[in-house]
Amino acid sequence: GDSVTQMEGPVTLSEEAFLTINCTYTATGYPSLFWYVQYPGEGLQLLLKATKADDKGSNKGFEATYRKETTSFHLEKGSVQVSDSAVYFCALSGPVGGATNKLIFGTGTLLAVQP
Amino acid sequence: NAGVTQTPKFQVLKTGQSMTLQCAQDMNHEYMSWYRQDPGMGLRLIHYSVGAGITDQGEVPNGYNVSRSTTEDFPLRLLSAAPSQTSVYFCASSLSQGASGNTIYFGEGSWLTVV
């Protein structure tokens, strides 16, 4: 079945460091890919998404490119801030026109940014 | 606009007790779902609904019941609580099923402890 694998955390960085959180997926067809962020004590918020190969999703300085050839959707940010400390989830859902938009999540990666 | 509202935010239950987690959305979304979040396992789909009167099982449905009598509400019932159901529960909704263009909105979560 479809699945998402993301790097285990925690990832600890200093402020202004470069961030990469790896995410790879296994899916039949052509899924859509998402990054969700969960700040402490809160629910999940959509950070960015990409719906087809070579699409780049971006938001709040974060970027991820849908790479079909490597089945990857790695999250990157050039300069992290303390306020970026959160848990980041990679997820996929069924393709456009599919029967459902159920999300399949990775296990989450905790990012801790130190001043 | 309240979005997706879950209650209660925190609950402690004794083994064998029953309870209902409430979820309501005010965005006229057709698609609603319940996830549970456990350490090291990401979010897993419990049940989902594609519209009023229609529900279906997700990945981990055992021990839970749902109903969808209105578009707005999608309660999750624990029939006889067990310690294995200690988790954080998230309700989610989106405009419709399918089509990756639909953003999925999450509630803030309900922290449930079964002792």
Task: Indicate the burial class of B70 (C-beta count within 10 angstroms; 0-12, 13-18, 19 or more).
Answer: exposed
Would residue A16 be called left, alpha or beta, if left means φ above 0 and alpha means ψ between -120 and 50 degrees?
left
Chain A interface includes B87 (CB < 8 A): no
Residues of chain B contacting A86 with CB distance shorter than 8 Å: none
Report whether B88 contacts B37 (CB < 8 A): yes
Range picked from A17-21, A27-31, A46-50, B28-32 for highest mean pLDDT: A17-21
Which residues of chain B are within 8 Å of residue A109 when distances are taken between CB atoms? none
B107 touching chain A per CB within 8 A:
yes
List the one residue out of A20, A18, A16 whose CA is nearest residue A73. A20
- Sequence-ordered list of residues with C-beta below 8 angstroms from that of B87, at least 6 positions apart, any chain: B36, B37, B38, B112
> What 3-state class would DSSP assign to A84?
helix
Chain A interface includes B64 (CB < 8 A)? no
Q: Do B106 and A102 touch (CB under 8 A)?
A: no
Of B35, B104, B109, which is closest to A101 when you measure between CB atoms? B104
Asked if A8 and A111 count as a contact pair (C-beta separation under 8 A), the reply is no
Average pLDDT of chain B is 91
Residues belonging to chain B: 115
Which residue did the predictor score with more confidence, B23 or B97?
B23
Instruction: List the beta strands (DSSP E) in chain B.
Output: 4-7, 10-13, 19-25, 31-38, 42-51, 54-57, 64-66, 76-78, 87-94, 105-106, 110-114
**Is B63 in a helix, a strand, or coil?**
coil
- In angstroms, what separates the C-alpha of A9 from chain B's closest C-alpha? 10
Give the model confidence (pLDDT) of A9-28 as tens digits: 899 999 999 999 999 999 88
Model pLDDT for residues A58-80, shown as the tens digit of each residue: 999 999 999 999 999 999 999 99
Phi/psi for A83 (5° steps) reads: -70, -10
pLDDT the model gives residue A71: 95
Contact B41 A107 (CB under 8 A): yes
Task: Please state, in angstroms and rounded to a whole number, the distance separating the CA atoms of residues B93 and B8.
Answer: 18
Furthest CA-CA distance within chain B: 41
Residues of A in contact with B30 (CB under 8 A): none
- Dihedral of alpha carbons A47, A93, B21, B88, sign: negative
